[in-house]
Amino acid sequence: MGKKLSGTRGRGGKHHRGRGRGGGSHSSHARHLDIDERPDSAIDDVGQAQRDSDEEEEDEQVTIDVPVAMWDFDHCDPKRCSGKKLSRLGLIKELKVPSKFRGIVVSPKGTQVIAPNDRDIVLKGGVAVVECSWARLDDVPFNKISSPHERLLPYLIASNPVNYGKPWRLNCVEALAAAFYITGFDEYAERLLSGFGWGGSFWKVNQSLIEQYRQCSTADEVTRKQEEIIAQLNANWKQSRKERDEEGDDLLVANPNHQQWDAHSDDDEPPDSTDGSDTSSVR
């Protein structure tokens, strides 16, 4: 839709500009020129301007130029499933077993973590995930999911509403975004996450981790960096527990500011230091 044609009359289809002080001194021809030659009104065009702006935003959306796919085993509630939402948004292709995928497949059956030097594989073949429930991994026919490039994800933290703050428990869109971030396709990751109200928190929660992994090159280097990160987290946790225990021994009266924390704290175990073998089973 373009702008109004010259000669288009104001709202209501009537001319009113000749009325008021001095209005009677102008001829009808002058009044006609006055309307036809005036600049387009910002008020008249506000609706069109908004539509033009919306169209420009749509045109500026990033196009993901590599395949993005998933094997969906219908384990999850469709209303909460991030993979199904990506499908509704037209951002992912659903694969059927035993379809083959030539790009990176984020899978618990992978033997190495994804690394920055996987970028060329992503560029040529894209990224796929297995959309299934964490509780039903044994029901997934992984032997029928074929790819020459199966990968694990390194230590990352979920930001989705179901598993927020839990290490390893990434859902489908987070797993895809993680793979794109680590291999240097930030815009693709952000395009996928943009479909979710909480999507922006994934980068905020994991920025430090992802940037450390991106300083590596190979899977071995990423694995070593992951081990360093987990070791540091465990050391921090032990130090925190030691300080809390020492504080409790020194105080004759319990600090009321700590009572609620001590009664309800889940911080009785160190950070999850599993090897990440199920980091890519997503929901």
H or E segment at 128? Answer: strand 127-131
- Asked whether residue 72 carries a pLDDT value surpassing 90, the answer given is no
158 versus 144: the higher-pLDDT residue is 158
pLDDT of residue 165: 94
82 in a labelled binding site: yes
Lowest pLDDT segment from 19-33, 110-124, 218-232: 19-33
User: Quick one: 237 exposed, middle or buried, by C-beta within 10 A (0-12, 13-18, 19+)?
Assistant: middle
H or E segment at 9? Answer: none
- Asked whether residue 7 carries a pLDDT value surpassing 70, the answer given is no
193 within some domain: yes
Smallest CA-to-CA distance from 174 within 154, 152, 199 is with 199
Q: Which band of pLDDT confidence, cut at 50, 70 and 90, is reported for residue 195?
A: very high
130 in a labelled binding site: yes
pLDDT of residue 77: 62
175 within some domain: yes
41 within some domain: no
> Cα–Cα distance between 82 and 175 in angstroms, integer?
10
- Asked whether residue 102 carries a pLDDT value surpassing 60, the answer given is yes
- Beta-bridged to residue 113, according to DSSP, are 152
Q: What is the mean pLDDT of residues 61-82?
A: 80
113 in a labelled binding site: no
Q: Which residues of 139-157 are buried (b: 16+ CB within 10 A; e: fewer)?
A: ebebeebebebbbbbbbbb
> Cα–Cα distance between 170 and 164 in angstroms, integer?
9
Q: What is the mean pLDDT of residues 161-185?
A: 95
Q: What is the mean pLDDT of residues 93-110?
A: 86
209 within some domain: yes
| Mean pLDDT, the chain, whole residue set | 75
CB-based contacts of 282, cutoff 8 Å, min separation 6: 82, 83, 106, 129, 130, 131, 132, 170, 171, 172, 174, 175
2 within some domain: no
The widest CA-to-CA distance across the chain, in whole angstroms, is 97
Its pTM stands at 0.66
CA atoms within 13 A on the CB side of 111: 3
Q: Which band of pLDDT confidence, cut at 50, 70 and 90, is reported for residue 181?
A: very high
Domain count, the chain: 1
Residue range of the domain that includes 192? 68-221+275-282
Q: Do 83 and 128 contact (CB within 8 A), yes or no?
A: no
pLDDT tens for 266-276 read 444 555 544 44
> Cα–Cα distance between 212 and 207 in angstroms, integer?
9
> Cα–Cα distance between 133 and 81 in angstroms, integer?
10
203 in a labelled binding site: no
Q: Which band of pLDDT confidence, cut at 50, 70 and 90, is reported for residue 242?
A: confident
202 within some domain: yes
Q: Which band of pLDDT confidence, cut at 50, 70 and 90, is reported for residue 61?
A: confident
Pairing of strands 93-95, 68-72: parallel
Q: Which band of pLDDT confidence, cut at 50, 70 and 90, is reported for residue 95?
A: confident
How many helices (H) and strands (E) the chain has is answered by: 9, 6
237 within some domain: no
- Asked whether residue 189 carries a pLDDT value surpassing 80, the answer given is yes
- Asked whether residue 178 carries a pLDDT value surpassing 90, the answer given is yes
- Asked whether residue 186 carries a pLDDT value surpassing 90, the answer given is yes
pLDDT of residue 17: 44
Q: What is the mean pLDDT of residues 89-99?
A: 86
262 within some domain: no
Q: What is the mean pLDDT of residues 148-159?
A: 95
Lowest pLDDT segment from 32-41, 45-54, 110-119, 130-139: 32-41
> Cα–Cα distance between 88 and 37 in angstroms, integer?
48
Q: What is the mean pLDDT of residues 107-131?
A: 92
